A and B are shown apart, each in its own frame.
Chain A
Amino acid sequence: MAYQLYRNTTLGNSLQESLDELIQTQQITPQLALQVLLQFDKAINTALANRVRNRVNFKGSLNTYRFCDNVWTFVLNDVEFREVTDLVKVDKMKIVACDGKNTGSNPAE
């Protein structure tokens, strides 16, 4: 069972909205929608692990940190993200991170 972490992304949210619409029109059942989301979790975990190959560095100031249920939540301010030559500056950024060493047993969010 893969992390459900990525449901709170654009891709995940749009999938959930689409499933909600189909449930509203009674084209699918909520149980089926749940199955779809589980498949989505697997697919996105696999895709990110296998199809993405890039590295990013960032630097900023840490506003808050939280560690609960093996999930880190950080809020950073004035962060600079660098990838090779590109630079992205962000005033405020929240990071939600699940344990990367134990991906299978603890679904989060």
Chain B
Amino acid sequence: MPSFPPQPKLYFSIIDDVIESIRELFLDEGVPEGVLDDLRQLWESKVLQSRAVEGFAKDNLNPSNFVLQLPANYPQTLHKPTASVVIPAGRHAQSFTAKASNTGTIATFSLPPGVTYPVQIPAGVTLQTASGHLYKVNVPVMVTQAPECQRIPPQTNQSLIEQRNRPPTVIHKIPAQVTAPGPQILPVPQASKPVLPPQDQTQNRLTQQPKIPVEQSTQALVPVTPDTSTLHQPSQSALESSIEFTLDGIEFSPQPLDMSVSSPFSMQQQPRGLQGELPHMQMLEFGASVQDMVERAVKIGEESGALSNTADTMSLLPDLDRMPDSAGKLEGLLMDYNFNELDDIVQLDGTGDSSSEVGDEEREQQRREEEEEDQGAVGENEFLGMINAEALKALQGAGESSSSCPSSDGDEPDLEEVEEEDPLNSGDDVSEQDIPEIFDTENVIVCQYDKIHRSKNRWKFYLKDGVMCYSGKDYVFSKAVGEAEW
């Protein structure tokens, strides 16, 4: 069936037509022809990456996705490889492409006649796929043939392929140094090892790769193919395993630390004698889960029993936007209420506005002054963080005068009445927000109609020249007849 999904020929023919029709336009505008080629390559790569066109590998009799086109003056010399790549090629790859016929994500090489393995690809060589796509090698690459023992077992291979589900000409197996013309690829140093050996032991091997090359190759791979999740999972697990941190004595793999966030803490807290632990605790918030941080915060609070520690633990909460301000404000509040232990961690969300930090600081200062005077006026609007039960009670007791406090006794009857009224009327209104949501869907047909007929609640559609996008795949039709009941 030619249109389910459409053959790539139709789309590429449209691309060809458009490119040819705009060639003169570009020349008239004085745009270099290289730009036109760039446009074409970008367009084609996006179409292929979008999964809209499938079955391309099936039509391709050549099992290799890439034909290595070397420069005319390429000498087949065996220099010491700066990076080694093992890519299954030729007949060995047959099983790959056959199973990946619907996904076709494995990139394979076929060598031009007269060239044998291993092949060193110097920088600047352009690799051309069977479909004509060009990929430029930025750094020298050595291509060797995979030995027999490294063939992937079919089951593993198939599971990996099923997970990928990508058009065939997208590069997966090309080492990290290969770049596509369109996307921006991070340059990978020559000394790095690629992450793409044959996959029978891939999962184990990738985790055993050196950490830094894994990171780099992971970074390099991501822009090339968006759907490299299976390859990246072992890489990411390697990354995660390299990130080690413990509460005591804390070591962790270097991660970008936002000193602008953490420095206020260190400035405030160091005099309190927590110099050794504090920076690490602050850094924990970048890597640890919320639950872990809360548990550790409880431990810290119980162990130290000091006010500074509780402020410390509060700093662990993943509230990065508020940290610089809330720590200071929190100090003031906690000092006022003078509690020493965290028995119950009660998280109180800010009830009031939290617009600008600058305004919050000023208001906080004013509030502290008021609190000292009034002995207990509550500044809930700017308060974010943890507070224990005692402080909560004190807040509630002191907050009677505050109109913003929702739990005050005087307001309760009014709230109850409002709550009773709302359910009665809430269902009557048709929200305007629902209407756009009805029409929001990923499955769309764009077409033209010859006739739309309705009889009572039975509708009949006579459509033509349509393109249907369903689950990311494209289908086309010249005529469509449908009926539906409303």
Contacts and interface: CB of A to CB of B under 8 A. Distances in A.
A100 B476 CA distance: 16
B478 A52 contact: yes
A95 B47 contact: no
Nearest to A67: B452
Given A14-B43, A48-B467, A8 B35 contact: no
Contact of A6 (B29, B467, B484): B467
B484 to A, nearest CB: 4
A104 B463 CA distance: 17
A1 interface: no
B38 to A, nearest CB: 7
Interface in A22-46: 22, 27-29, 32, 35-36, 39-40, 42-46
Nearest to A93: B443
A43 B17 contact: yes
Nearest to A29: B29
Interface residues of A, number: 71
Nearest to A52: B478
B456 to A, nearest CB: 12
Contacts of B11: 11
Interface in B13-52: 13-15, 17-18, 21-22, 25-26, 29, 31, 35, 38-39, 42-43, 46-47, 50, 52
A61 B484 CA distance: 5
Contact of B39 (A18, A52, A60): A18
B485 interface: yes
B10 A40 contact: no
B286 interface: no
A83 B3 CA distance: 9
A57 B439 contact: no
Contacts of B98: none
Contacts of A105: none
A85 B432 CA distance: 41
A39 B481 contact: no
Contacts of A13: 50
B47 A100 contact: no
B478 A54 contact: yes
B4 A58 contact: no
B461 interface: yes
B112 interface: no
B478 A14 contact: no
A68 interface: no
A27 B41 CA distance: 15
Nearest to B44: A14
B449 A6 contact: no
A17 B357 CA distance: 38
Nearest to B2: A54
A22 B39 contact: yes
B372 interface: no
- Listed from nearest, the 6 A-B pairs whose CB atoms lie closest are A100-B448, A14-B46, A10-B52, A18-B42, A58-B482, A62-B484
18 contacts: A11-B474, A22-B39, A28-B29, A39-B25, A43-B14, A48-B465, A48-B478, A53-B478, A56-B3, A56-B477, A79-B484, A91-B443, A93-B443, A93-B444, A95-B447, A96-B445, A97-B463, A100-B463
